Amino acid sequence: MIRKTNWYGLDAVEFSKGDYTALLIPSVGANLVRLDNTKLGVEILRTPTEEEIETFKSRPQIFGLPLLFPPNRIENGRYEFEGRTYQYPITIEKEQNYHHGIIKGEPFVVSKVEEDDERVKVECRYYSNVANDAIYRDFPHAFKCKIVYKLSAKGLKQEVVFSNRSDKAMPVGVGFHTPMLIPFAGGEAADYRMRVAVDEQVELSERNLPTGKKLPLTEQYAKLREGGLQVTDCEPVEAGFTLREIEVDGKSYRGAVVENIKTGVKTYYEVDEQTTYWTIWNNGGKVNYCCPEPQSWTTNAPNAADPKAAGFVAVEPGEKWKATYKLYCK
């Protein structure tokens, strides 16, 4: 099933396959703001209510699947690459940093819709060029961003593709600020544990920027690898980590998983090799969501002592960058 609908005044696309239903808002960063499994009664993502629509428009990063390009923070909103200076506006005054990217609230268009017996496919596109001052002013490259959602009985597969349509190498750093709903299927916050494929903790400065030091996991954060950590109705969590796979369901796993330890129901957030770093943030710990944020580069990678080691990449003219993510429950 695919249909156009209205979500509290915003044009939306609703689609379903098997036990899954999804809701997409193309005009706000092509954000998929809802993913539910009706059979299990699971709501995987934080979805804006009618009272939260204005908040969603101004802070889309705390709902659904908000695309961050670039991810997390850029020190002083500035970096240099190949003799060019990139300057973004300061969005966190107390830190004097830019954060959360230039594309999360931009209007995408639905460019393709397909459905067969196995899946529903919805493709959204965004174009930036010299005529689109909202983006080009801060990031002077012509590019295309394509987000493809594929929904099947197995869950959601998301593909993100950036195509460099400019005549210069284009920095590409991608992340998501994904708020996973907890509790997601009844019970209380204490019934849920999150595990994430983390390795070492990355030390952050008072400005929430990496210092260059990597630290062993504390007793608290070691639970992300083994046993699980309670991440809602708890103390604040805001930390950065390198990535190393964990074992989930007897297999090597690259991602985050949240489990209701009383029922055994789990929500899964898988990432591919493009993700090299995690930020985990629970907005003070007293809300009903926690964000395991996959990032293709370490926070502030363009300004790192060794940008390449921090995951910094650039795409040559005419070339593409692609990443894949999966969300499902069982």
Q: What is the pLDDT of residue 134?
A: 78
- Give the residue ranges of the chain where pLDDT is below 70: none
Q: What is the pLDDT of residue 201?
A: 98
246-248 and 251-253 strand pairing? antiparallel
Write the DSSP assignment of 114-129 as a string of letters: EE-SSEEEEEEEEEE-
Q: How many CA atoms lie within 13 A of 113 on its CB side?
A: 12
d(CA 221, CA 312): 26
d(CA 56, CA 54): 5
d(CA 266, CA 271): 16
For residues 29 and 66, the answer to whether their CB atoms sit within 8 Å is yes
Q: What is the pLDDT of residue 133?
A: 72
Of 4, 138, 31, nearest in space to 74 by CA: 138
Which domains, and CATH codes, for the chain? 2-329 (2.70.98.10)
d(CA 221, CA 237): 10
143: exposed, middle or buried (C-beta count within 10 Å: 0-12, 13-18, 19+)?
buried
For residues 21 and 155, the answer to whether their CB atoms sit within 8 Å is no
For residues 112 and 120, the answer to whether their CB atoms sit within 8 Å is no
209-226 pLDDT tens trace: 999 999 999 999 999 999
Which amino acid belongs to residue 279?
T
Q: What is the pLDDT of residue 8?
A: 95
User: What percent of the chain shows pLDDT beyond 70?
Assistant: 100
